[in-house]
Amino acid sequence: MPAVLPPPTAEVEVVVVYPPRLAPLGGEAAFSAVQIGPETLKQTPRLDQALESTPGVSLFRRTTSLSANPTTQGVSLRAIAGSGAGRALVTLDGAPVNDPFGGWVIWTALPSEGLEGATIVRGAGAGPYGAGALTGVVALQERGARNGLGAVDLSVGERSSYRGAVAVGTQDLLLTAAGESTDGYTPVRGKAAGAVDKPLSLHDESAALRVQHDFGGVQAAARVSAYDEKRSAGLLGANSAARGSSATLTLAEPATKGVGGWRLQAWSRHSNFANSSVTVAAGRATATPANNEYSTPADGYGVNAALQGHLGAAAWEAGADARWARGTEHEQFRAVNGVLTMGRDAGGETSVAGVYLETAYDAAPWLVSGGVRVDRWTQSRAQRHEFVLATGVTTLNSPTADTSGTVPTGRIGVRYTVSPDLWLRGAAYAGFRAPTINELHRPFRVGNDVTEANPKLRPEKLNGVEAGFGGEGLFHWQADVFYNQLKDPVINVTIGVGPGVIAALPIAGFIPAGGALRQRRNAGEINAYGVEGEASGDVMTALSWRLAFAYTHARVDGGSAAPQLTHLRPAQTPEWTVTGGLDWRALETLTLSANVRYSGLQFEDDQNIRRLPPGAELNARAAWSLAPGEEVYLAVDNLADAKISTGKTADFIDSYSEPRTFRIGFSFRR
């Protein structure tokens, strides 16, 4: 009697529902664009670290979101000049995620478990990205919704470090949640450390919920999110806290295939930031309160609309977008005998609104892409009110006149495919970034260094050209050369050093010994040229490799605003960054990975006095597969325990990056 075979296993169709999106026009290949995929996001616990696998992508300082104050977490591209506000626009499915007050990004609010990937476009972005993409754009894509678990990551590490993140949902719902806690490491170590030095602790939580549905071809999605993080600044009495929420409503009717359709989107963001700083005495034995910025509420609102279509071989997108922001910092400052005696309320409103047209013409072997924008910006309702805390008597009431302007920008790129293994391209572009409320109105303090605001700042403008070539032969490779000119860059310009009141800017008050007074100013222009390249491939099927580098020669021409900076390198700007990695499938179930990032010499300050030596960090990871998509892993950050200088005070005390750190965890992705 023949054996009875069991019935075949029924195939279950996995349905993944993505957020409402219009298809890209297809012109990004004419520009310097890099894709960050799910595998890179999985291997790094923080999104900003994953993005830094692309050379030239950096936060203002060398620190990551593990230890960086929120005000230094703005992202910039190509190392033209760092900025705490960031000179790149970061979006999540079309909605900006930059903070409405300061322009920085709260990276802990964007766990990689909730993301599908990221597209990094280097060079000023016109068209659909909106104003603010001065050195480029980081376009994040949220993961699609499906039934059940989409991602899980659980890990524990040294210094009482714990992290957990999950993405789960149905076809119409996606919930992402994450939390982290660590006692942190002490940035000032060794003989230089004193009683005031303490670890950079971090505690954060975030959650996001997206609900969506298809109404007869019209896709609708509502997304809400919230975050809360608390940090120690590494000094006794110096701490920060950030919390906020956002909401986005998107309606779209994409073409059933390819380019076409329309999209409407409205979004809002609310944030509140608190920060306290201290004055450090000689020998780092004691710290005295310097300020207490106890509340900085800010709101941002925006709308955007887009319509796509075809005109022969050309695809086009026309649209409009507008953003409004308002915020005020509330602060106590000026210590007398260890007691803060003065109060300050400072803030204002900003807005940017524009229209654009973007096109892409694809007729092999040619690809031509271009776009134009016209934006109107305003800075209004500025105020700076200072008063005596004990009596309420006003000591300063300094409103500033409203300002506004109109800025046209654009870009064009051309790519020619010589053969299946070789292509050439070239591009030119112009972009601008309006100052943030933080830059315009909020003074701040780091240790004994004081930086004053400037309500008369003008928008930054960038013009650039670039050319590149690449191929897909035995391995993937590409290289680019570029020249950028940044006009009216907002730079923290040194006015004088303490101790005492600096006559050129008495509004800042007394500057302690070992401290410097700076002010944000439009300082002439920055001219930068450079070359960037990347390559990746496989050795048989078990070993994959990647290597990328960026070299940027950037120099300031301070003009009449800051002649002392002429011929100097912008602060926090390395000439060289190099990244590399190896992934070796040593066994069917064992994968070993190593990643290295090298950053060249850079300077803490605008006058190129505080030198931050070159440094390289090697991270390693071993993952044991339990089932498809499931693994346990051991990760070692800074395997060589390198002492990488991340900051230097006016009295030349170094802060260092995280020491060697072990983590073990469980990861699931599908």
For the chain, list the domains and their CATH numbers: 28-669 (2.40.170.20)
For residues 63-70, average pLDDT: 88
Closest C-alpha to 433, from 479, 377, 349, 388: 377
Report pLDDT digits (tens) over 581-638. Answer: 999 999 999 999 999 999 999 999 889 999 999 999 999 999 999 999 999 999 999 9
Question: How many other C-beta atoms can be found within 10 angstroms of the C-beta atom of residue 401?
Answer: 9
- The 10s digit of each residue's pLDDT in 249-262 is 999 999 988 899 99
User: What percentage of the chain carries pLDDT values higher than 70?
Assistant: 97
Lowest mean per-residue pLDDT among 125-129, 213-217, 277-281, 304-308: 125-129
Which of 494, 493, 496, 470 lies closest to 481 in space, CA to CA? 470
Compute φ and ψ for 462, nearest 5 degrees: -130, 135
- Residues 76-93: pLDDT tens digits? 888 888 788 888 899 999
Overall pTM surpassing 0.85 (yes/no): yes
* Of 450 and 230, the one with more pLDDT: 230
Express each pLDDT in 202-211 by its tens digit.
999 999 999 9
Q: Is the pLDDT of residue 657 over 70?
A: yes
Interval 354-380 mean pLDDT: 94
1-49 confidence digits (pLDDT tens)? 444 455 555 455 678 888 899 998 888 889 988 889 888 888 888 899 9
Model confidence over 96-117: pLDDT tens digits?
999 999 999 999 999 999 999 9
Rounded average pLDDT over 456-480 = 93
DSSP per-residue codes, 303-323: EEEEEEEEETTEEEEEEEEEE
Q: Look at residues 308, 345, 322 and name the one whose alpha carbon lies nearest to residue 443.
A: 345
Q: How confident is the model at residue 170 (pLDDT cuts 50, 70, 90)?
A: very high
Q: Which pLDDT value is given to residue 3?
A: 47
- Tell me the C-alpha distance between 535 and 537, whole Å: 7
Burial (CB < 10 A; 0-12, 13-18, 19+), residue 108, is buried
Strands 403-419 and 422-433, sheet pairing: antiparallel
| Residue type at 319 in one-letter notation | G
Q: Tell me what the mean pLDDT of segment 146-152 comes to.
A: 93
CA distance linking residue 468 with residue 369, whole number of Å: 15
CB 402 within 8 A of CB 381: yes
With helix as H, strand as E and coil as C, how does 328-377 read?
EEEEEEEEECCEEEEEEEEEEEEEEEEEEEEEEEEECCEEEEEEEEEEEE
Q: Which of 3-7, 152-156, 178-182, 569-573 has the weakest average pLDDT?
A: 3-7
Given a contact cutoff of 8 angstroms between Cβ atoms, the answer to whether 63 and 657 are in contact is: yes
